[in-house]
A and B are shown apart, each in its own frame.
Chain A
Amino acid sequence: MERPLTQHISHETTPLNLKDYQKVGGYAGTRKVLKEMTPMEVTNLVKTSNLLGRGGAGFPTGVKWSLVSMDTEKSYPKYLVCNADEMEPGTFKDRYLLEGNPHQLIEGMIIAAYAIQAQTAYIFLRWAYKKAETELRKAITEAYDAGLLGKNILGTGYNLELKVHSSAGRYICGEETALLNSLEGKRAIPRTKPPFPAISGLFGKPTVVNNVETLAWLSHIVMNGSDWFKGLSLTATGGTKLYGVSGKVKNPGLWELPLGTTFRELIEDHAGGMLDGYGFRGLLPGGASTDFLIEEHLDIQMDFSTVAAAGSRMGTGTLIILDDKTCPVAFLHNIERFFALESCGFCTPCREGLPWVEKVLATIESGNGRMEHLDILKFQTRYLAPGNTFCAHAPGAAEPLQSGLKYFYDDFVSHINLKRCPWKS
């Protein structure tokens, strides 16, 4: 089984330096793109590969790029931004790529920047990823020294400056337009769309924001072609995916597997099944902002469309397992407290609704809940629906809550009836 993204990464060793990275074929893609391909050809290649963004929304990467005007007169400067903010609870995939193979990301960024003809690129890095920051900075310096970044890259006349911006905290910075505001040195409030960043992004200029995992693919697609990429997955989407499992399983971890691997295979074969003495109750398929799935969904293939069809979202592809010794109400309370605290505060439903949800959940968990509180929760999940709020933060928060209410309703009721949490003695 091919593991293009992680073949050179392991938790135990340090990442490849430039020399070693080049030995295993690194920067060949960069050479090929810069010397042999036009920007349009790169974009078309990525389009035909059907690479879907790995940041959570699964938007086709090539299509996103093609929204950027290539009219050189009008649209300069342009920017490429790598979204390495990764703050979704339960998610730890980008970190692995950042710490494990920074050159792979840098190469992907050169290719992407070339495709949209951006001359400046930023990596918006989560503050807490200190090791990743060190490795990235080291790799960037190497790349500059080798003429892979900076002016006149590889003698092709193409220029690209790459800077790491380490953030100052806040989940909302991962939302791509809030991220742009943050990069501009402002409060990370999301922006309205349209206009999309491709029209008016960083500093008001055309910008593409891509996730780490998305960008990491590019050198491989360039070298191996779109058919190869499509052939990697079990579904029609193409490529592998970094899947992760955390919670009470025997072997929590992260694996690069073909897109379309089933939940069951992931949990049982790779994560080793539930820890002894723990039963499976449900899972969040792609971070805290996705809907619960339960036992009956375990044989579903994990891909954007299939998970959506089951009523959830693939999101980041990193599973959080709810076991039978963890109180679902406490579980949800933890998540909703997170979302309430991380609201940017710009729009009313999110700013006022999430703290209310959090307070209600805390009340129910503490044994002081009333049945009316359940009505409020149900009402809030409707009120926080997509389109009702300014960005996807609050609807994301509503997803585990609405499905939690659906699948674990009895647990809520028993808290109220018993006037205590049944999981606490």
Chain B
Amino acid sequence: MLSEEEKKEIQEEINHYPYPSAACIDALKIVQHYKGWVSDESVKDIAQFLNMSNEDVDGVATFYSRIYRKPVGRNVILLCDGITCMIMGYESIYEFISKKLGIRFGETTPDNRYTLLPISCLGDCDHAPAIMINNDSFNRVSIEIVEELLENYK
């Protein structure tokens, strides 16, 4: 079920386009904002709301990398594995996070606190390596900084 807020926000997006299905991506993002990810049920809810078929919506949802069709943890860690961050040593940070949390890219900690995902080039190359946790960006990170950062995300 879409919540009232979700419906209101989606409706608001629809108003910016000539037809409802154009707001599909916005709708997916709104639902993900509230629910953390886009479940099969949400796909159907959105489809109904935008007068699309489930297949229409899921075709879109599965295309975009920042739409999560599987549950994610409370905090999503996006570690840049782009080329500059590689040169600047993201791999050691990855190994560190991975060891500390016991998860590889694409995995979620058993306590559901973190999901670790790669992301390519966060546009912070002059301050590489870069990392994003939820909506917060950090750059010039080191193992020490990351260790501290992680603590802030419960």
A interface residues, Cβ below 8 angstroms from B: 86-92, 94-95, 126-131, 161, 163, 165-171, 182-188, 203, 244-248, 252-254, 288, 318, 320-323, 326, 330-331, 334-335, 338, 341-342, 344
> Which residues does chain A contribute within 8 Å of B81, judged by CB atoms?
334
Q: Which of A91, A92, A248, A252 has the largest number of chain B CB atoms within 10 A?
A: A92
Q: A90-B125, A130-B137, A188-B63 are contacts. A326–B132 as well, Cβ < 8 Å?
A: no
Q: Shortest beta-carbon distance, A254 to chain B, in Å?
A: 6
> Which residues does chain B contribute within 8 Å of A253, judged by CB atoms?
126
Say whether A128 contacts B137, CB under 8 Å. yes
Say whether B25 contacts A92, CB under 8 Å. no
Say whether B28 contacts A168, CB under 8 Å. yes
Is B127 part of the contact surface with A, judged by Cβ < 8 Å? yes
Is B2 part of the contact surface with A, judged by Cβ < 8 Å? no
* Residues 49 to 98 of chain B near chain A (Cβ within 8 Å): 59-60, 63-67, 78, 81-84, 86-88
> Which residues does chain B contribute within 8 Å of A95, judged by CB atoms?
123-124
Q: Which of B21, B26, B83, B125 has the largest number of chain A CB atoms within 10 A?
A: B83
B interface residues, Cβ below 8 angstroms from A: 16-18, 21-26, 28-29, 59-60, 63-67, 78, 81-84, 86-88, 119-128, 132, 135-137
> Which residues does chain B contribute within 8 Å of A335, judged by CB atoms?
83
When C-beta atoms are compared, the residue in chain A nearest to B82 turns out to be A89
When C-beta atoms are compared, the residue in chain A nearest to B62 turns out to be A187
When C-beta atoms are compared, the residue in chain B nearest to A335 turns out to be B83
Give CA–CA (A171, B126) in the complex, Å.
20
Q: A86-B123, A129-B123, A254-B126 are contacts. A185–B24 as well, Cβ < 8 Å?
A: yes
Q: How many A-B residue pairs have CB under 8 A?
A: 129
> Which residues does chain A contribute within 8 Å of B26, judged by CB atoms?
165, 185
Partner of A168, one of B17, B66, B122: B66
Q: A185-B60, A187-B63, A244-B126 are contacts. A128–B83 as well, Cβ < 8 Å?
A: no
When C-beta atoms are compared, the residue in chain B nearest to A253 turns out to be B126
Question: Interface on chain B toward A: helix, strand, loop, or mixed SS?
Answer: mixed
Say whether B16 contacts A331, CB under 8 Å. no
> Which residues does chain A contribute within 8 Å of B126, judged by CB atoms?
92, 244-246, 252-254
- 6 new A-B contacts at CB < 8 Å, known A247-B88, A326-B86: A92-B123, A95-B124, A128-B137, A167-B66, A246-B125, A341-B120
Say whether A342 contacts B120, CB under 8 Å. yes
When C-beta atoms are compared, the residue in chain A nearest to B15 turns out to be A163
> Which residues does chain A contribute within 8 Å of B67, judged by CB atoms?
168-169
When C-beta atoms are compared, the residue in chain A nearest to B14 turns out to be A185
Say whether B84 contacts A185, CB under 8 Å. no
Say whether B60 contacts A90, CB under 8 Å. no
> Which residues does chain A contribute within 8 Å of B65, judged by CB atoms?
168-170
Q: Shortest beta-carbon distance, B34 to chain A, in Å?
A: 16
Say whether B16 contacts A246, CB under 8 Å. no
Q: Shortest beta-carbon distance, A250 to chain B, in Å?
A: 12
Say whether B83 contacts A203, CB under 8 Å. no
Q: A171-B120, A331-B87 are contacts. A203–B125 as well, Cβ < 8 Å?
A: no
Say whether B23 contacts A90, CB under 8 Å. no
Q: A169-B64, A338-B82 are contacts. A320–B125 as well, Cβ < 8 Å?
A: yes
Q: Which of B22, B84, B119 has the largest number of chain A CB atoms within 10 A?
A: B84
Say whether B18 contacts A203, CB under 8 Å. yes
The 10 closest A-B pairs by CB, nearest first: A169-B66, A168-B64, A185-B24, A246-B125, A169-B65, A185-B22, A252-B126, A89-B121, A246-B84, A92-B123
Q: Shortest beta-carbon distance, B63 to chain A, in Å?
A: 4
> Which residues does chain B contribute within 8 Å of A245, judged by CB atoms?
126
> Which residues does chain A contribute within 8 Å of B23, judged by CB atoms?
185
Give CA–CA (A244, B81) in the complex, Å.
19
> Which residues does chain A contribute within 8 Å of B120, judged by CB atoms?
87, 89, 171, 338, 341-342
Say whether A128 contacts B87, CB under 8 Å. no
When C-beta atoms are compared, the residue in chain B nearest to A120 turns out to be B16
> Which residues does chain A contribute within 8 Å of B136, judged by CB atoms?
130
Q: Shortest beta-carbon distance, A127 to chain B, in Å?
A: 5
Q: A130-B137, A252-B127, A254-B126 are contacts. A247–B63 as well, Cβ < 8 Å?
A: no
Say whether A247 contacts B66, CB under 8 Å. no
Partner of B64, one of A129, A131, A170, A288: A170
